[in-house]
């Protein structure tokens, strides 16, 4: 079945504003390969599949058992396109299984009876895979990709705010949280920015999202239509459970041509470098100010030392540099920039969401390390060694 068999990739301005980005065929095929690895070669016959934000159906291309597949989305226009494709024999879905539904606001009692029965039956729910590429729009962040007020438009925002905190700013997190709470015996196979796995602002989210990691991969975000920027999008498979969010997960890494180029580990549950620098005793007389905007690799460009607060990058938090914390601020600056320089440019997207963690307690014992940090100069002449991910 061709990629366009269940719709098309032409987006309205409103869809782009909402963060709607169709899934390219290359990543659809890879995702279904991973689903087969996790759930077995006969997964399409043995499991039910629900794409609750299906758009015009790109993610469903290649599925072969229409009796097991359900598709819904908030926009009736998308449903009309899918029904037209079904009627024309261009889309391998059942018309009765394709319906308009607002997943973040709707009442599950309004779902088709067959799907409702699956969700309400604990044993059948164990055979349900929620397979989605949700909107990536954010209600507020620090990256410039903000869609102001987008996430706040949904009833579940207020419902989940006490449970997942700042993660409610992002629509994909609201989808994941709602799936987790409403279908606790099901499985989630989803595309999303990888930051929910390790970023500082998602700590509370990870405490809520109890699941077993089953496998997945990351790919470059700008391989998706209308997505700007070089950062990882992950396709990760989860089986909900009583287990805490894993301390470490491993993903495969694909280049834009769909070739595997390595593996990447993501870590959770460790203290971040900004928490460490905030805990260091400051002293009384500032000799400068350290700009330390957030923990992630992507914010290294904002890490610097300025003579005055007025010289700091706009919107950045800072720590006063004094005689008492001079060594620690030099360690902070040197670690963030030296690691940034040793990552080849073509691999920076892989590191994009990696958070810097606090230094080992033994760092004070190495006089040579401390001296190196003290005299560190951010030089473009430093050549990058070959590093594993």
Cα–Cα distance for residue pair 52/71, rounded to 1 Å: 6
Q: Contact at 8 Å (CB) between 290 and 318?
A: yes
Positions of CATH 3.40.50.150 in the chain: 3-267
For 63, what's the count of Cα atoms within 13 Å in the CB-facing half-sphere?
30
Residue 141, pLDDT above cutoff 50? no
Most confident of 17-21, 120-124, 143-147, 221-225: 120-124
pLDDT for 365 beyond 50 = yes
3-267 CATH pick, 3.10.450.50, 3.40.50.150, 3.80.10.10, 1.10.260.30: 3.40.50.150
CA separation for the pair 100, 90 (Å, rounded): 20
pLDDT in tens, 81-137: 999 999 999 999 999 999 999 999 999 999 999 999 999 999 999 999 999 999 876
Does residue 380 surpass a pLDDT of 50? no
Residue 231 has pLDDT above 90, yes or no: yes
pLDDT bin (cut points 50, 70, 90) of residue 340 is confident
Are the C-beta atoms of residues 37 and 217 closer than 8 Å to each other? no
* Residue 172: CB atoms within 10 Å: 24
Residue 293: which residues within 8 A CB-CB, separation 6 or more?
142, 299, 302, 303, 313, 315, 316, 317
Percent of the chain with pLDDT over 70: 87
- How far is residue 4 from each of residues 23, 58, 101, 242, measured CA to CA in Å? 11, 7, 22, 39
Query: DSSP state, 381?
Result: T
| pLDDT (mean) for 325-332 | 94
The per-residue pLDDT for 378 is 62
pTM (2 decimals)?
Answer: 0.86
pLDDT (tens digit, 9 = 90+) per residue, 281-304?
A: 888 899 999 999 899 999 998 999
Q: What is the spatial distance between Cα 338 and Cα 221, in angstroms, rounded to a whole number?
A: 25
Interval 315-336 mean pLDDT: 93
């Amino acid at each position: 079945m061709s990629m366009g068999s269940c719709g098309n990739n032409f987006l309205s301005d409103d869809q782009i504003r909402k963060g709607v980005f169709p899934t390219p065929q290359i990543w659809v095929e890879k995702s279904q390969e991973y689903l087969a690895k996790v759930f077995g070669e006969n997964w399409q016959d043995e499991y039910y599949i629900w794409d609750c934000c299906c758009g015009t159906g790109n993610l469903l291309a290649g599925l072969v058992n229409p009796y097991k597949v359900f598709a819904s989305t908030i926009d009736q226009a998308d449903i009309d396109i899918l029904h037209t494709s079904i009627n024309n024999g261009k889309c391998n879905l059942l018309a009765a299984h394709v319906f308009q539904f607002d997943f973040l606001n709707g009442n599950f009692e309004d779902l088709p009876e067959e799907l409702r029965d699956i969700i309400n039956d604990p044993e059948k729910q164990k055979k349900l895979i929620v397979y989605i590429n949700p909107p990536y729009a954010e209600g507020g962040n620090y990256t410039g990709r903000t869609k102001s007020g987008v996430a706040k438009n949904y009833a579940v925002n207020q419902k989940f705010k006490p449970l997942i905190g700042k993660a409610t700013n992002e629509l994909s997190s609201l989808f994941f949280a709602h799936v987790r709470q409403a279908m606790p015996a099901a499985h989630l196979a989803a595309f999303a920015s990888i930051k929910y796995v390790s970023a500082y602002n998602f700590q509370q989210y990870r405490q809520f999202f109890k699941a077993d990691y089953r496998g997945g991969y990351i790919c470059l975000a700008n391989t998706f239509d209308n997505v700007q920027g070089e950062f990882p999008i992950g396709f990760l498979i989860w089986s909900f459970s009583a287990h805490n969010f894993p301390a470490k997960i491993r993903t495969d890494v694909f280049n834009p041509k769909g070739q595997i180029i390595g593996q990447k580990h993501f870590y959770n549950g460790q203290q971040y470098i900004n928490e460490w620098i905030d805990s260091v005793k400051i002293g009384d007389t500032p000799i400068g100010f350290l700009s330390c905007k957030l923990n992630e690799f992507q914010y290294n460009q904002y890490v610097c030392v300025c003579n005055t607060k007025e010289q700091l990058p706009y919107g950045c938090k800072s720590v006063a540099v004094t005689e008492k914390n001079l060594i620690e601020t030099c360690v902070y600056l040197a670690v963030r920039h030296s690691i940034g320089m040793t990552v080849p440019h073509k691999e920076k997207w892989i590191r994009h969401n990696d958070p810097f963690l606090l230094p080992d307690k033994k760092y004070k014992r190495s006089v040579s390390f401390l001296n190196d940090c003290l005299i560190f100069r951010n030089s473009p002449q430093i050549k990058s060694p070959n590093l594993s991910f």
